[in-house]
Amino acid sequence: MKKTKKYILLCILILLLSLLLFALLKVDASNKLDGIENFPTSYQPYLRELAKKHPNWKFKALYTNLDWTYVINEENIYGKNLVPKNYSDSWKNTTPGQYNVEIDSGWVDSSRQSIEYCMDPRNFLNEVRIFQFEALSYEPHSNNLDGIEKILYGTEFYNKKVSYLDSNGNTINMNERYSDLILRGGQTSSVSPYHLASRIKQEVGPFLSHSSISGNVEGFKGLYNFYNIGATSSTEPMGAIKNGLRYAQDGKGASEALKNKYLIPWNTKEKSITGGGIFIGSSYINIGQNTIYLQKFDVNDDRNGNLFTHQYMTNVLAPYSESKSTYSGYQKSGLLDTSMTFIIPVYNNMPSIPMQSPDINANDFAQDNTKVYCNATNVNIRTGPSTSYEIITSVNKQDKMTRIAKGKQSGERWDKVILENGIIGYIFKNYVTEMPKVQIERIDVNIDNTTIQKGERKKLQVTIYPQEANSHKVQYISSNPNVATVDNEGNITAIRSGKVTITVKAEENNVQNQIEITVYSKVTNIILDQKEIYMQVGDTFQINAGLEPEDANDKNILYSSSNTDVAVITENGIITAKKEGSTNLIASSRENPNILAECKLYVVRKMDDSEIYFDSPLKVNSLEVSAIEYDNNKVSDIKEKIKTDLEIQIVNYKNEILQEKDPVGTGSKILVKEDGKVLRKYQIIIYGDANGDGKINSVDLLVIQRHILEIEPLEEIFRKASNTHLPRFKI
């Protein structure tokens, strides 16, 4: 009795250990981890590229814990994976006795290489083929009516309320749209309603009149099959449709339990949409095969480890081609940027580089390991060597990569490259340039003084590292050529005051260095607007001084009087006449006191304004006389308009006495004298006459141009006369 008890306890213990071991194995069989960071590094660059384009997409790594070679061996069994017979031999099993043997009409056994290519998920992590990994389960946070309607757009199901015929031919009108039924069907079946909507479009097309869903097929009145489930081929007229409707009628021999599960008979449109969804879900999606890829390659299901047997289709390229259809549907519906989840398998001991397509002939490439860079802008990297392949990403000028296979094809040539982020793809050969074996790694830039005088020319001292790259070309770039230019030899020419950045950049890559240069403009001259001034005791007068060049850095001017008993002058150039006499007024540069200008000042008795009067149109402003009529600018014309008992004398800008018929020009002076002594001096200005000859013509234009170009600067009075905003003849 004791032995029996021990035996029973031992059996129970073994059973418990077995269950525990099975549970552990079941947990270890597959494991899903969210986020790109949880994928192997060979997956991550492709997924990051997709995430940049579609930030609402989510990626789950399905760790199958299956060895890669083991998986390929299990799938590479005669008859399990097929390709069209008209495909090239690289896609087909060429074993004698099996080569080109039709397993199904027009279909033959596939090659091991085609299985390796189609099963390696990394080959399809682009915007189009990624949809073979789309999760087909219902997602409440992302599946909604608006998305369903977008998929149905362009069909008669779009935004349409449901009506149908019962078995007696009566029309039943529902207060719900097809999108409502599809959403509810997805919720009930746990299948993505987007997948159900796409499946309906694929199976019955865009029209409500399709026989599978019209409800008026003779012998099958009031029956509906939205997914054409059980619609097997038949030689009978409308045979496939009738077979589908027979399934809708009685499940074609299904048990009562299954019929109840699938809501058979499908005698309303809602039962057909929902029951058909339950059928699709329970057969594949809800047992772990919830992507097109997993429906083709049974590497993950909940049937207690019976892998590689429950495969929906035999076409090895089915996930590849169906993913394009799904992508196109989403693209046309404007749903590509909605929230989506992709479940992507990962295998143990996968090759370091994705398996190559059988369409790509290895003999068209030579193995390589050369550093190259892109020589153009926005160049596409593709999944294969032609523009018919999908785009993975794009590169720009100077982007570095490694060429791992050099194209030898005739005609257009493509190279296989690996980018710095790990993406592997193909690039058109004309867009890559081989990097020199030795490249510039560092550039040092120096100059003996970073402050350069305007007009000065200095050469940059450039040192390139390593020394072997010393002969490689560099570019010199000025951030502001108006301040300073730099030539191809590194010679800097200072143009005007300011700051500028000079960049020295390697032509072969982006290695560069910079230096900031200050251009300093020294004062070269001071110009006073008066050379001789007559003032009366107690008067004040503003003298103006200008610096040359105009962009001089230090614009400070110091004023002084040689005889402060006669007159004083403030730091702003305001003169005060104190007593009769003469003095020299001096304006000097603070930067360089040796640069100065002088003006002779005569202080005379106080003259009353009533002692002199100027008739119209002459205007007097601070000892400047203007508004002289162009045709009446002779000495006699001007004297006639001056009313005074004092002596009037007019001299030109050279201080030469003018005669009565001589023309008066800019810079001429009206001297008011008493007993030969000048009491007051007025300066004449004729706007437009920039050279003082009393005429306005092209000579004045030339003089103004030479001033602007800093060839021959004008004195202050002539600068004023160059003001073209004032009237030309009434000056």
Per domain, the residue ranges of the chain are 31-133+319-348, 145-286, 362-434, 442-519, 525-604, 612-722
Q: With a cut of 50, which residues of the chain have pLDDT below it? A: 1-5, 7-8, 10-28, 727-731
User: Do 402 and 370 form a contact (C-beta atoms < 8 A)?
Assistant: yes
Instruction: Tell me the fold of 442-519.
Output: Immunoglobulin-like (2.60.40)
Q: What is the pLDDT of residue 503?
A: 97
- Among the residues of 55-102, which ranges form H helices? 68-75
**What does the pLDDT read at residue 20?**
41
Q: Which CATH architecture has domain 362-434?
A: Roll (2.30)
Q: Which sign does the torsion angle of CA 683, 689, 693, 694 carry?
A: negative
Alpha-carbon span 315 to 110, nearest angstrom: 9
- Whole-number pLDDT of residue 630: 72
* 4 contacts: CB under 8 Å, gap ≥ 6: none
Give all strands of the β-sheet with 512-520 in edge-to-edge order: 451-453, 512-520, 498-506, 474-478
Read off the amino acid at residue 394: S
Q: What pLDDT was estimated at residue 32? A: 84
Query: Class for domain 525-604, per CATH?
Result: mainly beta
**Helix 193-204, helix 145-152: angle, nearest 10:** 20
Residue 241, C-beta contacts closer than 8 angstroms, at least 6 positions apart: 211, 212, 217, 228, 231
| pTM (2 d.p.) | 0.54
For residue 15, what pLDDT is reported? 44
Which strands make up the sheet holding 340-348, listed edge to edge?
Answer: 31-34, 57-67, 340-348
Neighbours of 506 (CB within 10 A): 21
Q: Are 691 and 705 in contact (CB under 8 A)?
A: no
The per-residue pLDDT for 731 is 34
In terms of Cα–Cα distance, which of 566, 561, 565 is closest to 582? 566
CA 507, CA 383: separation in Å to the nearest integer?
30
Is the fold of 362-434 the same as that of 442-519? no
Residue 531's pLDDT is: 87
